[in-house]
Amino acid sequence: MATKSHRGLGKGLQALIPEETRPENKEDDSKKLRIVPLSSIEPNPDQPRKHFDQEALEELSKSIQEHGIIQPLVVRPIDQNRFQLVVGERRWRASHLAGLESVPVVVRDWDDQKTAEISLIENIQRRDLNPLEEALAFRSLLNDFHLTQEQLAVRVGKSRSYITNSLRLLQLPVKLQQYLVDAVLTMGHAKAILALQNQQDQNDLADEVIDKGLNVRQTEELVKCWNQPMQSVTLVQETQQQVASTNQEPLANHQANLQQVPVIRHTKKTILFSSDEQPKTTKVDSATQSALEANPEDHAVTEMAERLRSWLKTAVKIKSQGQQGHIEISFYSHEDLQRIIDSLMLQDNRY
């Protein structure tokens, strides 16, 4: 497994904490280090992290029971005897589980904006946030403190493009946002899926990615296939007549066979129909239509590739020269290959 890098964080937390309040300033820290009742600390309602692993918290609580809290919590004062938690919510929660009555804290006089920034960056540096939590935190900082994306990028040590791509995750359907929270999909998967404009397509493709266990690169290829412009789907009888007029009898025979393959399509522009139904047409530009009418053989090959793609639910390319050529069928795992082979063998047994 690749090790995690923090290079994208720039100066990170150090850039935001004033020099006089940095942890390495021992004298200042000693003056602000206090032991306070655990009950006097309130959680931050704007904490970016919303999900905490219960099992990990229980393990941490056992460690705290044995060794105590090694790293103090960071808080800011609410009033003379009340504090709001800024950094260390896992330790705060685990301390409750461990039954502690008091905990060590470092008190910081930070305003709302500084508190939000520190809380976010601390979570980013620890890699504690899932992609959706991070996106929500970015949006909150932008809206609450009227920052530009460029300003936010500088403050949290990320590139502007990273901020932009993160915010785009909030455009995903709720179902896919939950996939991110559950770590079923990664930010890379989500970024690829967002290339689809229709949310139903996004949902369908995400399910296919999960079912097939596709990585990000494979997902990007699948999106390209999904977004491929649809060619005009004409009546099979008309296509057969066009092919016959070019004296390509073998091609016409294959076209007739493919008529019996159930066509199930997955893009917004396609129509569900079976072998005994009349397929509807989709609009194409005049140049494409003219090319198809001038080359009925190409039209037939294109339609066959589309039928195979819809039937096998994967990318299919047919490359032909005259009466010869070859078919390329993409698969993404051994299981996917077996599924395709089973589909082909099942179809073969029908004849």
Which residues are paired to 319 by β-bridges? 326
24 is catalytic: no
CA distance 141 to 16: 14
Give Rg (Cα) of the chain. 29
Q: What angle do CA 163, 48, 2 make, to 5 degrees?
A: 65
Catalytic residue among 89, 117, 122, 297: 89
| Cα dihedral sign, 333-339-342-348 | negative
> Which is nearest to 313 in space by CA: 293, 334, 339?
339
Query: What are the catalytic residues?
Result: 89
